[in-house]
Structure 1
């Protein structure tokens, strides 16, 4: 499914459609933009025709210095079958040669009041968000003290119940059951809920509850960066669980590795408190305080002192 079309940027940035209206459904496949100054000068060898083209004051001022024949030729070459849109910034006048060429090739020509650099920045951010690689994971995403915690585990292990208790403790629900994840940068994963189940939480025995209605707008948020994964699993007595916290397990989502903790589930364990403390401890580690390392260093010093006394 195509994620972005030219009409999407028209709607999101309230741009004026000047010409080429038949091409507003053209797909946009890259977040890279192009300012075709060298192309207007006549060099089209490496013209990135699949990109959105931005024409600012520099390009259009130089364009006015060309002959009528050159103007018509350059604009005809700018408008290709793969060009999703040509945008004129600063509400400047659109050259008639561009209008004629765009109508012939059905390339949408848009106009924006924004300055070229600001328009390029906002447009790039929008396209990177929409065109980012995406996936979906079965789990619950909660914002705990600013840490985006993705709670995973088999169905029925208690993810939603833990999330409900976390919401009662003042934290914010992002998504339950299905978490849509997009990779916006090399190490940035943003999670959100599908539109259909946004702000909803399923509790076995109760059914579906609306968290925002029950607990208020402060109990939910629409999206959050994921920085920690906590995997819940039923207690296995044959398995050795990490008791110090020195080992750091990683989970790869798309192209990004995220720290993952495995928390065993058994009767009597307060999962919400454990997850809350895990998030706080993760923040402390990022701030340079590692309790496990400090303990092992102290233990090593004690052993060394005792050894010296024994000798």
Structure 2
């Protein structure tokens, strides 16, 4: 569910880029613009117009395409208003006509009386459905905020986490200096999309590309390094956990045990990188990003290393190297 009620007016007023624009216009039932949309889905009410209301998904946005509009005209020409009257007894959030179709005055009057907003779009039914489902899925996607820095390194979305003062922002700044891109600093808003991927972006669009560097203050990454150094959102594919070096702790030196963390029900790989003077953490993070890309291509360095070691032992070369070629058994 969305954090706050999402109304028909919110859908109508959304400023979306050209390839996502819904091209919506309100043509009637303006009293219904305050109604809430509670389901991220749409419904084509063909069966309902024919009189079958047993499984009518009235809580969804109702879509009238060419077929529904033609059937509506048929009902009106036959003066068969029974199913149409019943349609407006349901608490429908809104009705959308595609192909720039325009219902008659009688339909609009019914909508006005029922306080149901009537919208129209120039898009065809298929294209509108694709765009509307994408928009609604993003709006109603599960969300949370996390403390960290989200960057894109070699095309991989990295969420850098760690306690305050460990050097997350300084590390991200070095990565931007090396040609990578910043998505968000300090507070990252995360959404689960399609149940199998998590997208991160700045919690506040006005300050997401600003960065706080202790001793320096607030800097604007886009102004300092250009618009090519930022992006609006990115899928989180790897979590880098920065921690202070602990001499008593045994760190993974081979990498054959992949740890995972749960973010909104999605398992994301996590790597702990200990920080201490002399370690070039940005280079380590770059290597981690490239190694993650190799895993996507089916190449796992740690597994390949283990397999090569086993082959070396089985070949007998390991015993020869250890005992020497002249030793007898």
2:158 corresponds to: 149
What is the deviation of 1:84?
A: 1.1
Query: Does residue 17 of structure 2 align to residue 11 of structure 1?
Result: no
In the superposition, relative to structure 1, how do residues 103 and 117 fare at CA in structure 2: closer, same or farther (>3 Å)? same
Give me the whole-angstrom Cα distance separating, in 1, the residues matched to 2:216 and 2:194.
Answer: 39
Query: Does residue 209 of structure 2 align to residue 199 of structure 1?
Result: yes
Query: Does residue 96 of structure 2 align to residue 87 of structure 1?
Result: yes
Contact 1:76 1:98 (8 Å CA) reproduced: no
1:116-135 superposed matches below 5 A: 116-135=125-144
What is the deviation of 1:95?
A: 3.1
2:57 aligned to which of 14, 39, 48: 48
3-state secondary structure, aligned to 1:229: strand
3-state secondary structure, aligned to 1:197: coil
Q: Please provide the CA RMSD for this pair.
A: 1.7
In the superposition, relative to structure 1, how do residues 71 and 8 fare at CA in structure 2: closer, same or farther (>3 Å)? farther
Give me the whole-angstrom Cα distance separating, in 1, the residues matched to 2:80 and 2:319.
Answer: 88
1:18-97 superposed matches below 5 A: 18-66=27-75, 71-80=80-89, 82-97=91-106
2:249 aligned to which of 239, 242, 245: 239
TM-score (normalised: structure 1): 0.95
Contact 1:81 1:107 (8 Å CA) reproduced: no
Contact 1:80 1:107 (8 Å CA) reproduced: no
What is the deviation of 1:31?
A: 1.3
1:113 corresponds to: 122
Contact 2:23 2:122 (8 Å CA) reproduced: no
Give me the whole-angstrom Cα distance separating, in 2, the residues matched to 1:65 and 1:81.
Answer: 22
Contact 2:8 2:34 (8 Å CA) reproduced: yes
Contact 1:138 1:152 (8 Å CA) reproduced: yes
2:190 aligned to which of 181, 205, 219: 181
Q: Deviations over 1:95-151 (max 9, x none)?
A: 333212211111000111111111111111111111111000000000001100000
3-state secondary structure, aligned to 2:269: strand
Contact 1:138 1:178 (8 Å CA) reproduced: yes
What is the deviation of 1:167?
A: 0.2
Contact 2:148 2:168 (8 Å CA) reproduced: yes
What is the deviation of 1:66?
A: 2.2
3-state secondary structure, aligned to 1:177: strand
Contact 2:238 2:268 (8 Å CA) reproduced: yes
Give me the whole-angstrom Cα distance separating, in 2, the residues matched to 1:142 and 1:71.
Answer: 60
3-state secondary structure, aligned to 1:213: helix
3-state secondary structure, aligned to 2:193: strand
Give me the whole-angstrom Cα distance separating, in 1, the residues matched to 2:126 and 2:80.
Answer: 24
What is the deviation of 1:303?
A: 2.0
3-state secondary structure, aligned to 1:65: helix
Q: Deviations over 1:212-258 (max 9, x none)?
A: 00000000011111111010111112221110010100000001110
Q: Deviations over 1:285-304 (max 9, x none)?
A: 11122221121112112222
What is the deviation of 1:210?
A: 0.3
Extract unaligned runs of 5+ from structure 1: none
Give me the whole-angstrom Cα distance separating, in 2, the residues matched to 1:62 and 1:305.
Answer: 77
What is the deviation of 1:180?
A: 0.2
